[in-house]
Amino acid sequence: MSQEITLVEVALRDGSHVIRHQYTKEKVIEVTKGLNEAKVPYIEVSHGDGIGGSSIQYGFSKDSDIELIRAAKENSPFSKIACLLLPGVGTLDDLKEAREAGADMVRIATHVTEADISAEHIKFAKNELGMEVVGFLMMAHMASPEVLLEQAKLMESYGADVVYCTDSAGALLPSEVKERIELLVANLNCKVGFHAHNNLGLAIGNTIAAVEAGASFVDGSARSMGAGAGNAQTEVLVAVLDKMNYQTGVDLFKIMDVAQDIIAPLLPEPVIIDNDSLILGYAGVYSSFRLFAQRAGKKYNVDSRSILMELGKIGVVGGQEDMVMDIAAQLSKRQE
């Protein structure tokens, strides 16, 4: 009997980084209708940095998260709508609004060693709002498998239905993914998920390693639309999983059509492993820092790769985007 794998499509959230969070309701409706017709189980919708992320630090959204979630929900009779929330960026009020707008699932995201700050949000979403709740442990390469498990157990204890190992920098190797997922699956009672980035060209391979190690939830992004070099490419992932006799329930031809006919025209440029994306994975830097580093590099006439390498050395995490300009300025002075 083949194993079922639950797919979460993230082009309307992680992909938001690619277009600087300029999704409109009309475009979200078009994408959602296509994904719904392709029978994608979950569609994640929100600012790239989660609900409440629209700000001067992360970039302002064109249309609000709540409007986008409502538009998606009204056009997804099959697919469930998920959203992302980073404690400290999004609030409980944001979460309540998202639920009222139709969000079925929330993914509470913290740095891999900071699961304790998710307690209030997970409990509120689960017990007060009746949502499906995912614990999303970001930058998983920055913690040992044992520390990852310790943090995952905290999220499970708060009520998470699924806990994710999230390779936010696309820095993990398949063997490292396997080790982490096997440990989580062996020691948690909840389901285990995996989110990949393709900065080292390993998003599909790492996702397959996760599935073979026991993960039952995986993320994909149509046409690989996501931060850095993008995520595991949904249509490719569906095809590979099908060849391996894993069942996603997603219609391959229809998800291919969504990727080519709806998502591809949205991309300002193809999502590829360029120099900066490669350095993100190599240095272990949060994937959304790519555009910040490129802007800082132009401003200070510094190679953006050098900026990213410095950020990797000091171990920056999501939420420290304001440090990018500081590092660029410091590198510029060294060049004088």
How remote is the C-alpha of 305 from its chain's centroid? 22
Q: Is the separation of the CB atoms in 304 and 276 below 8 Å?
A: yes
Q: Answer left, alpha or beta for residue 88, where phi above 0 means left and psi between -120 and 50 means alpha.
A: left
121 counts as catalytic? no
Residue 54 annotated as part of some ligand binding site: no
How remote is the C-alpha of 31 from its chain's centroid? 17
Of the CA atoms within 13 Å of residue 197, those in its CB half-sphere come to 33
Tell the burial category of 52 from Cβ atoms under 10 Å away from its Cβ (0-12, 13-18, 19+): buried
Which residue, among 121, 265, 156, has the nearest Cα to 148 in the 3D structure? 156
Taking CA 41 as the corner, what is the angle to CA 40 and CA 44, rounded to the nearest 5 degrees?
85
The tokens describing 284, both together, are: 């272990």
Which residue, among 11, 50, 51, 7, has the nearest Cα to 31 in the 3D structure? 11
Please tell me the distance from the alpha carbon of residue 18 to that of residue 12, in angstroms, as a whole number: 10
What is the DSSP code (8-state) at residue 2? P
Q: Which of 17, 21, 121, 141 is catalytic?
A: 17
Residue 197 annotated as part of some ligand binding site: yes
Please tell me the distance from the alpha carbon of residue 102 to that of residue 68, in angstroms, as a whole number: 10
Q: How far is CA 79 from CA 33, 65, 224, 279, in A?
A: 9, 18, 20, 35
Q: Is the separation of the CB atoms in 147 and 115 below 8 Å?
A: no
Residue 14 annotated as part of some ligand binding site: yes
Please tell me the distance from the alpha carbon of residue 44 to that of residue 80, in angstroms, as a whole number: 9
DSSP 3-state of 48:
coil
Binding-site entries = 13-14, 168, 195, 197, 286
- Which residues are annotated as catalytic? 17
Binding-site entries for Mn(2+) = 14, 195, 197
Binding-site entries for substrate = 13-14, 168, 195, 286
